[in-house]
Structure 1
Amino acid sequence: MKLSKFWLMLVLALALAFTLVACGGDEDDTTTDDTPDQTDDTPDDDGDEDEGEETTEGPQQGGTIVAGMYSAPGHQFNPLFYSDAYEANILSFTHESLVALDENLDWEPSLAESWEINDDYTEITFTLNEATWQDGEPFTADDVVFTYETIQDEDYVAAGGVRTNYVANLESVEAVDPQTVKFTYTDVNINALYDASFIIVPKHIFGDVPVLEMPDHSASRNAGEVIGTGPYQLTDMLEGEQYVLTSYEGYWQGAPNLDGITWRVIEQSIMPGLLESGQLDMVAEPNGVPAADFEAVDALDHITTYVTQDFGYQYMGFKLHHRTTDDVENGVIDPDNWVENEKVADVRVRQAIVYAINRQAIVDGLLFGMGTVLNANFPEASWAFDESAVNPYDFSPETAEELLDEAGYVDVTGDGFREDPDGNEWVLNLDYPTGNQVRERSAPIIVENLEAVGIKVDLRNPREAGPHFDLVEKDNHDWDMYLAGWSLSAADPDPSALWLSTAPYNYTRWNDATSDELIKAGVQAPDAFDQDYRKQAYSDWAAHMSEQVPQVFLYSADNIYAYNANLKEVKHYPAGIYADSHLWYLEQ
């Protein structure tokens, strides 16, 4: 059965927020309908059967599917420290959270059976499901406490952790008994469920491991030692090439129907051919099937496609400040220590760069129209989206040149490139990763656009995604501009995890007091219980960001998922297709 393209405009009233999964590719964190739910007794077909042909009704056991992703995971399978969307492809099947998002982008139980929030929204108490870790040990409230106290640990950021937004307002987390855990917040918390939605890790594995040593611990990296509560366990891998997930027979919601899922790292250009030949059963996160190949893949009778607006976007970041080497080595995020990058310090320069880039041409030419130019952090599906709040920055080389002239960046030597206001050579470095073909092909287009208005750009050799994003995070080097993407989950539009000055994920190192003030206003109780108030606060913030341009929003590509039509019980949710993967089965 073919599913037509489905736009997420029907969920404008629903929440959207940042769960990084990834900045990694596409992103890259982790982080995308009202398609009817598929249930255990409703096969995804037209109900017709050939006379005399024996059929098996209901879920069938056994079989393995092969899924493809464009880049290798960064070899970090501890949810506390993973950083890219390719690692998230593994963790989505091996680990779980207390709550998860359903098809309506509402919170539903997962490891938590139920919860109660007190009247003033300062406490939330969860009753846990009876689950086990993949080594047979029981899952308890102590695991939840350990996970959150690790994020609160003073060494967490120094160890490479970046998810401090989950504990920003957390006063304490307490194991009331083995099956009950209580979160207490320092103030009214309108996002208590979101804050309690982080992936849980096992205390019995990491409890005696110093936080600084956790990222390199064998249970964070080695197949067979990575332990979650999910339906599949990472049992084998050939690093950079193949990652084998095997069904966990003791899974608390019932043994998976499939025997396993094998992830292969495959060049993006050959994925459609492998889908056609049957050597590949699924292409999903991040980005899915290339837009150029959609029609060919959609025409395959043995492939089901699902198209939805991405909950993430691609961008070109400015390194507005650099951290000191000491701060990078010590894991310190202290804006008072940052060193301003004078080459992109003038807001008129940043505005000119946006005007100079023909973003719509990238969408039309490289995405075949299957995407949207963005001008703010909120995709159109978000209730926080306000098109009128931002400057659209329509392609205008003339406006770019006027702004550069006004800022004093003019061509003094007559070589066609502008010097800085002091008459010195002015060259902006641009770094980008491999793995995403559209992004790779965008890089020289961006350079061509910028050089057309007299900005000299040094387009440096691309790196693999893992090393590239390591350098994005460290930022104690000579970078001026870089290409990347954010994967946004569908929980709430609060931009604090990416854009507060002190947020580890604030990779542009934008230090802006007005931005911080507006972001905090968006979650300030009791006003923030009124969605209209929050919408206005985020419109004000988007307007300020649009004026200051800490990064160039490039586009949000449509997600094009494709999978073997014989794979049943795949749920088409706004945030993706991985929900309830233990129910997947191959129809014989």
Structure 2
Amino acid sequence: MAVSALLLAACNDDTEKAGTKSPDKNKPTKEVKQEDAAAFPRTTSNTKEPLEDGHVNYGLVSDTPFEGILNYSFYEGDPDWQVLRIFDEGLLATDEDYVFNQEGAATYELKNDNKTMELTIRDGVKWHDGKPVTGEDLEYAYLVIGNKDYTGVRYDTQMAMIEGMEEYHAGKADKISGIKVEGNKISFTFKEANPSVLTGLWTYPLHKEYLKDVKIKDLVESDKIRKEPIGFGPYKVKKIVQGEAVEYERFDDYWKGKPKAAGVTLKVVNNSIAVKSLQNGDLDLATVNADQMDSAKALGNIEILGNLELAYTYIGFKLGRYDAEKEVSVMDRPKMQNKQLRQAMAYAIDNNIVAEKFYKGLRFAATSVIPTAFPKYHNTEMEGYKFDPEKAKSLLDEAKYVDKDGDGLREDPNGEKFTINFASMTGTDIAEPLSQLYIQQWKDVGLDVQLVDGKLAEFNSFYEMLQTDSEKVDIYQAAWGTGSDPDPSGIWAKGASYNYTRWVNDKNDELLKQGISAKAFDEDYRKDIYNQWQELVHEEVPVIPTLFRYEFEAANKRVTGFDLKFFDWSEIGVTEAEPVK
């Protein structure tokens, strides 16, 4: 979802309109012919010089408002991230393989047997109020995230590996001993060498001078985060209509030089009208979802860009709760803990038919929880859970989930009525039929699955249920933008707030630790560790990975300088005063 490191984000699964005809429940479907993202350009073809006073209109395609947590240290959902990336950024840039390079607002050097990472912030990198971005600002981000009063989800395994971080986090120290600041230089010393510092080091500073008067526990709700955010990106926030729109104006002192456009307007646009808005010239840029692809392709005033996305959709099992005091997941909800039950539910659903009928080949069946967009670490040997309802029935029989009263639905091993409560999000027109297809396929193998509260949940309400471990939810359908660091600890470690399933497994902990050990600087070793990890997740199935995704963006033909993979807002401009219609 993002080329910057560690930008894990909860996503809407962007469900889209399609036919609702059910497949033959006893016949495995063929592999779906995928839309070839390589057939689409990744960058706009317009090479004209952008207008000095041009204005870009960007459509945030969503059925839900953005929440308005406009800071990298605190945001959690994709809509907020889309707002954020226009006015703020990380200090380090990445190359095509998502590895840090020397092209960002800071350069870096790895030293001390790979245990110390030193960043040097370039001269002229300024916050939007004109103050310089300093090493203290990045240190302040770590002091906030590591603080016990921090209310976000960014404190993770890698943070805890910094020397002195655990002592600071426990309240035993006022500073983090492994972080040293000298002017525009800042260094991080880790307890042991970790290859993920080259892809996953947190490089998003907080404006210390601007925020220092707000208590850490109050930051996320403060006006300085929600209404008057400051970044050091190419555009400044001029006006926010909460949840609906943001006006940005060019930041002339941007460290890379004056941005190409004079301003940007972001507005939330429902998927059902996105293509019409593109046709009318109301939008210069907008995501194209599967149900709109045929209509978008027919338009003569836009071009469609495509790329593999660092994301996957999945069905998760709620296995426990998060103990906030101990900061670990506790697997204390027995209802979905039978592994054969989870495996049976995986075999019962047909992801190929979903990809074909609902997404027209714009998505494809997921085989693992590391996307194919990570070719280095995606396990190509895994086939995932193929549609096999007979296998599902056999597993349920073995686990003693059997129909004892003859109503076609299985009781639990104790002979009690067994209903599984399924949370799924609103989205576009297929959200409801897609959820009902899964429910029907589970019913076909004898499982009674019902939507939580009898309906789909709105995006923000849905994730609130997951974060608070609502007893209403037994299973849920969601999506992850994984971020560009291959280390999956931020989602899967037992101490990760983002571990929404609350799955706890000793082998999981061991493999995650090995994946960011000094040995893992050897890429073959690290690949083997992550292959083993993917196989473990497949066997234990705390989640069912369902679909991998392509992303497609439409650009009006007046747009120039747009690269879908890197989305550098400073380079995006328009070459005509009026949109091409």
8 Å contact 2:6–2:202 — kept in the other structure?
Answer: no
SS in 2 for 1:509: coil
Q: Which residue does 1:299 correspond to in 2?
A: 298
Looking at structure 1, the residues matched to 465 and 303 of structure 2 have their Cα atoms a distance apart, in angstroms, of 38
Cα separation, 1, equivalents of 2:543 and 2:282: 40
Say which of 578, 582, 586 aligns to 2:567. 578
167, 180, 186: which one aligns with 2:185: 180
Question: What residue is the counterpart of 1:314 in the other structure?
Answer: 313
The Cα shift of 1:373 comes to 0.8
Q: Distance in 2 between matches of 1:37 and 1:296?
A: 20
Aligned to 1:578, the other structure's residue is in SS state coil
TM-superposition CA deviations, 1:107-157 (whole Å, max 9, x none) = 23465432221140111111111211111222111101101121121222x
TM-score, L = length of structure 1? 0.86
The answer to whether the 8 Å contact 1:144/1:201 transfers is yes
CA gap of 1:62–1:496, structure 2 versus 1, over 3 A, is same
Q: 1:342 aligns with which of 329, 334, 341?
A: 334
- 8 A Cα contact 1:371 1:558, kept in partner: yes
Are 1:229 and 2:232 counterparts? yes
User: Contact 2:138 / 2:203 at 8 angstroms: preserved in 1?
Assistant: no
The equivalent of 1:23 in structure 2 is: 10
Distance 1:76 1:448 in 2: 37
1:115 matched to 2:108: yes
- 1:512 pairs with 492, 497, 505, which one? 505
Distance in 2 separating the partners of 1:233 and 1:88: 15
Contact 2:303 2:557 in 1 (8 A): yes
Work out which of the residue numbers 554, 562, 587 in structure 1 matches 2:575.
587
CA–CA distance in structure 1, aligned partners of residues 12 and 418 of structure 2: 29
Aligned counterpart in structure 2 of residue 208 of structure 1, from 207, 213, 216: 213
Q: CA deviation at 1:208?
A: 3.2
How does 1:145-294 map onto structure 2 within 5 Å?
145-156=139-150, 159-171=151-163, 172=177, 174-222=179-227, 225-283=228-286, 288-294=287-293
| SS class of match (1:23) | strand
Q: Mapping of 1:337-486 within 5 angstroms?
A: 338=330, 340-382=332-374, 383-388=376-381, 390=382, 392-460=384-452, 461-486=455-480
**Shift of the alpha carbon at 1:17?**
9.6
Structure-2 change in CA distance of 1:339 and 1:167 (3 Å):
closer
Taking the aligned partners of 1:371 and 1:473, their CA distance within structure 2 comes to: 27
**Whole-angstrom CA distance in 1 between matches of 2:10 and 2:367:** 19
1:558 aligns with 2:555: no
Letter of the 1:82 partner, please give it. Answer: Y
In the alignment, the residues of structure 2 paired with residue 446 and residue 301 of structure 1 have an alpha-carbon distance, to the nearest angstrom, of: 37
CA contact (8 A) 1:17 1:494 kept: no
Q: Does the 8 Å CA contact 1:410/1:420 hold for their aligned counterparts?
A: yes
Contact 1:367 1:557 in 2 (8 A): no
- Kindly provide the amino acid, as one letter, of the partner of residue 192 in structure 2: D
Displacement of 1:540: 0.9
Contact (CA 8 Å) 1:18, 1:489: kept in 2 or not? yes
> How far off is 1:178 after superposition?
1.8
Moved more, 360-369 or 293-302: 293-302
Instruction: Spell out, residue by residue over 1:318-360, the C-alpha distance to the aligned partner (whole angstroms, 9 max, x if none).
Output: 101134xxx45x6x5333xx35222211000000000001111
* Structure-1 separation of matches of 2:183 and 2:40: 38
Contact 2:515 2:530 in 1 (8 A): yes
What SS is found at the alignment partner of 2:11? coil
1:313 and 1:485 in contact (8 A); partners too: yes
Q: Counterpart of 1:126 in 2: which secondary structure?
A: strand
- Confirm or deny: 8 A CA contact 2:161 2:190 kept in the other structure: yes
Contact 2:289 2:552 in 1 (8 A): yes
Q: Give 3-state SS (helix, strand or coil) of 1:275's partner.
A: helix
Larger CA deviation: 173-182 vs 72-81 = 173-182
Aligned residue number for residue 173 of structure 2: none
Shift of 1:436: 4.9
Match of 1:8 in 2: none
| Structure 2: distance between partners of 1:18 and 1:316 | 25
Q: Distance in 1 between matches of 2:303 and 2:464?
A: 36
Q: Distance in 1 between matches of 2:261 and 2:183?
A: 31
| CA 1:316–1:439: 2 relative to 1, 3 Å | farther
Q: Secondary structure in 2 aligned to 1:395?
A: coil
Deviation at 1:510, TM superposition (A): 0.4
Task: Give the CA RMSD over aligned residues.
Answer: 2.5
CA contact (8 A) 1:501 1:511 kept: yes
What corresponds to 1:60 in structure 2? Answer: 51
Question: Hey, what's the Cα distance between the residues in 1 that align with 2:127 and 2:369?
Answer: 37
Equivalent residues, number: 535
Helix, strand or coil for the counterpart of 2:53? coil
Q: Deviation per CA, 1:259-301, whole angstroms, max 9, x where unpaired?
A: 2222222221221111112112111xxxx31123223313322
The whole-number CA distance in structure 2 between the counterparts of 1:571 and 1:17 is: 15
1:198–1:426 CA distance, 2 compared to 1 (3 A) = farther
Q: How many angstroms does 1:302 deviate by?
A: 1.7
Match of 1:44 in 2: 45
SS of equivalent to 1:458: strand
> Does the 8 A contact of 1:23 with 1:486 survive in 2?
yes
Residues 195-240 of structure 1, C-alpha deviations (whole Å, 9 max, x = no match): 4343222111222322211111111111xx1000011122222223
Larger deviation: 359-368 or 174-183? 174-183
Q: Is the 8 A contact 2:41 2:305 kept in 1?
A: no
Higher deviation after alignment, 542-551 or 113-122: 113-122
Partners in 2 of 1:234 and 1:112 — Cα distance? 20
**Partner deviation per Cα, 1:68-88 (whole Å, 9 max, x = no partner):** 221321121121110001000
3-state DSSP of counterpart to 1:398 = helix
Does the residue aligned with 1:313 lie in a helix, a strand or coil? strand
Instruction: Please list every run of at least 4 consecutive aligned residues from structure 1 whose deviation after the TM superposition is greater than 4 angstroms.
Output: 15-18, 32-38, 436-440
The CA distance in 1 between the partners of 2:515 and 2:88, in whole Å, is: 31
| 8 Å contact kept, 1:18–1:494 | no
Identity among equivalent positions (%) equals 29
Distance change (3 Å), C-alpha of 1:559 and 1:21: same
Distance 2:244 2:493 in 1: 36
Matched, 1:540 2:540: no
| Structure 1: gaps (5+ residues) | 1-14, 48-56
Amino acid aligned to 1:480: D
2:514 paired residue number: 521
**Given the superposition, is the C-alpha separation of residues 228 and 440 from structure 1 closer, same or farther in structure 2, using an over 3 Å criterion?**
farther
Q: Secondary structure at the match of 1:245?
A: strand
- CA 1:467–1:234 in 2, change beyond 3 Å: closer, same or farther? farther
Please say which of residues 104-113 and 515-524 is displaced more in the overlay. 104-113
Contact 1:568 1:586 in 2 (8 A): yes
Aligned position for 1:6: none
- Structure 1 residue matching 2:101: 3-state secondary structure: strand
